[in-house]
């Protein structure tokens, strides 16, 4: 666990980057600091590995004050990934990844061997290891940056806008990769971004920072969308928070109609194996626009219902055979229930808050 205790950073010219920040980052989870530029989120992150020294307050990692060890020692035990990767141009990819183990006294040969394995782990082919960073694409460099941070197997990983220098397609790739890696590794990750979508996608917990690193809200992404703490958070979260919030709601509870059900003159046509082919109607065959399977969230199902010419999403089993239909009216009922539950929880929170205050 990483704890901020009343941490303030004030610069000599009087600028206050972070004011009296108190926050607990949970072990083994991804915690995202999100906020507009200049809100102090990066300063807060960089105080964890003492790249910036707090003016007052203290930061503890698993109960130990970060000032209790020499800076370099502390940093070798914390993975650090920055925007644009910051690779060493004069070293090969392998030697970049091997940096921290070599600093810790591991032999170069041994460090290179494990670096080669790590490359594959972050989705790069091991034969890229002998190249120099300038020969890699931005996305590949960022993967190497992550591999370098993981090389000494540190329990804590700090990531400062790690994916903002790459294009959206590559960013999507890298985000998926990070979630996959985190599934295997279970590191304590603190990630800074200005992109609320990235925060919601990656974070187990999201800390929304307003100016001066005032903590506007610290909650799970679903709660952030469901119950924004104030106008600042709701404006940051954006206009379609209702739709995006459905991404955290389970679609299992929707009532299903049988596959043979006729919707507004359209019937689902199946091939010999029972896989959906399209909607048969007076105008011929129309596409289904996709299917969903067990475990899909309400957002995916809603999107399919909206796209479908029949206003119905097709559910398939693990063999791709159609086994049910979600009609727009059944979806509407489920969404209505979902929002009532959300608001009930919200009212409950407010009651508790009022009682506590």
- For other proteins, the binding residue among 31, 42, 43, 99 (CB under 8 A) is 99
CA distance 296 to 35: 30
Residue 61, φ and ψ in degrees, nearest 5:
-115, 120
Applying CB under 8 A, among 177, 223, 303, 330 the residue interacting with other proteins is 303
Establish if 164 lies at the interface with other proteins (CB under 8 A).
no
The correct pick among 132, 212, 214, 323 for binding other proteins (CB under 8 A) is 132
Would you count residue 88 as binding other proteins (CB under 8 A)?
yes
Q: Which stretch binds other proteins (CB under 8 A): 135-143, 225-233, 322-330, 338-346?
A: 135-143
Q: How many residues bind other proteins (CB under 8 A)?
A: 48
Q: Which residues contact residue 108 at a Cβ distance below 8 angstroms, ignoring those fewer than 6 apart?
A: 98, 102
Q: 343 Cβ partners below 8 Å, 6+ apart?
A: none
In the block, residue with structure tokens 């995006």 = 244
Cβ distance to other proteins smaller for residue 80 or 209: 80
State the minimum distance, in angstroms, from the CB of residue 283 to other proteins.
26
Regarding 295 and contact with other proteins (CB under 8 A), the answer is: no
**β-strand pairing of 188-193 with 291-292:** unpaired
Q: How far is the CB of 86 from other proteins (least distance, A)?
A: 3
Spatial distance between the Cα atoms of 34 and 50, rounded to a whole number of angstroms: 20
Contact 161, 113 (CB under 8 A): no
The reply on whether position 80 binds other proteins by CB under 8 A is yes
137 lies in the binding site for other proteins (CB under 8 A): yes
Any contact of residue 126 with other proteins (CB under 8 A)? no
Cβ 135 to other proteins shortest distance, Å: 6
Of 90, 109, 239, 319, the residue at the interface with other proteins (CB under 8 A) is 90
> Least distance to other proteins from the beta carbon of 355, Å?
37
- In this complex, which beta carbon is closest to other proteins, that of residue 99 or of residue 288? 99
Residue 314, CA distances (Å) to 96, 138, 257, 291, 317 in order: 49, 39, 10, 5, 10
Which of these segments, 1-9, 163-171, 188-196, 333-341, binds other proteins (CB under 8 A)?
163-171
**Interface stretch with other proteins, choices 22-30, 92-100, 224-232, 268-276 (CB under 8 A):** 92-100
168 binds other proteins (CB under 8 A): yes
Query: What is the rounded distance in angstroms from the CA atom of residue 72 to the CA atom of residue 160?
Result: 19
The residue range among 9-17, 69-77, 257-265, 318-326 that interacts with other proteins, by the rule CB under 8 A, is: 69-77
Spatial distance between the Cα atoms of 42 and 206, rounded to a whole number of angstroms: 14
CB of 85 to other proteins, least distance (A): 8
At CB < 8 A and 24+ separation, what contacts does 117-125 make? 118/147, 118/150, 118/151, 119/93, 119/94, 119/144, 119/147, 121/147, 121/150, 121/181, 122/146, 122/147, 122/150, 122/177, 122/181, 123/177, 124/93
CB environment 197-225: b (16+ within 10 A), e (fewer): ebbbbbbebbbbbbebbbbbbbbebbbbb
How long is the chain? 357
Among 61, 66, 87, 147, binds other proteins (CB under 8 A): 87
Name the helix (H) or strand (E) containing 243: helix 241-245
- Please select the residue that binds other proteins; options are 116, 194, 201, 205, rule is CB under 8 A: 201
169 binds other proteins (CB under 8 A): yes
Asked if 38 and 25 count as a contact pair (C-beta separation under 8 A), the reply is: no
Residue number, 84 or 309, with CB nearest to other proteins: 84
Member of 42, 92, 142, 302 binding other proteins (CB under 8 A)? 92
Do 321 and 328 touch, CB atoms closer than 8 A?
Answer: no
Task: Report the interface residues with other proteins, using CB under 8 A.
Answer: 49, 51, 72-77, 80, 82-92, 99-100, 103, 131-137, 139-140, 145, 148-149, 158, 168-170, 172-173, 197, 201, 244, 247, 299-300, 303
């Amino acid at each position: 666990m990483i704890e901020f205790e009343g941490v303030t950073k004030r610069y000599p010219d009087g600028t206050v980057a972070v004011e009296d920040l108190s926050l607990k980052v949970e072990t083994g989870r991804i915690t995202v600091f999100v906020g507009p530029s200049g809100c102090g989120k990066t300063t807060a992150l960089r105080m964890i590995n003492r790249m910036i020294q707090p003016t007052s307050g203290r930061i503890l990692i698993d109960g130990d004050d970060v000032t209790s060890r020499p800076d370099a020692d502390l940093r070798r035990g914390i993975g650090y990934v920055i925007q644009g990767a910051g690779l060493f141009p004069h070293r090969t990819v392998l030697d970049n990844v091997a940096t921290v183990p070599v600093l810790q006294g591991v032999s170069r040969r041994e460090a290179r061997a494990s670096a080669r394995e790590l490359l594959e782990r972050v989705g790069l082919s091991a034969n890229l290891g002998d190249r120099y960073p300038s020969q890699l694409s931005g996305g590949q460099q960022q993967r190497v940056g992550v591999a370098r941070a993981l090389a000494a197997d540190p329990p804590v990983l700090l990531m400062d806008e790690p994916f903002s220098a790459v294009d959206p397609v590559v960013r999507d790739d890298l985000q998926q990769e990070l979630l996959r890696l985190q599934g295997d590794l279970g590191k304590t990750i603190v990630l800074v971004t200005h992109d609320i979508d990235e925060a919601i996608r990656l974070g187990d917990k999201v800390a929304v920072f307003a100016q001066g690193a005032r903590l506007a809200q610290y909650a799970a992404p679903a709660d952030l969308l469901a119950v924004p703490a104030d106008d600042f958070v709701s404006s940051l979260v954006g206009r379609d928070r209702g739709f995006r919030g459905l991404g955290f709601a389970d679609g299992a509870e929707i009532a299903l109609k049988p596959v043979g059900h006729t919707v507004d003159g359209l019937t689902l046509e199946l091939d010999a194996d029972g896989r959906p082919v399209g909607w048969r109607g007076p105008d011929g065959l129309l596409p289904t626009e996709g299917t969903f399977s067990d475990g899909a969230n309400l957002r995916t199902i809603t999107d399919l219902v909206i796209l479908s010419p029949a206003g119905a999403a097709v559910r398939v089993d693990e063999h791709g055979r159609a086994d049910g239909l979600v009609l727009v009216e059944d979806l509407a009922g489920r969404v209505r229930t979902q929002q009532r539950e959300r608001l009930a929880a919200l009212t409950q929170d407010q009651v508790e808050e009022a009682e506590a205050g």
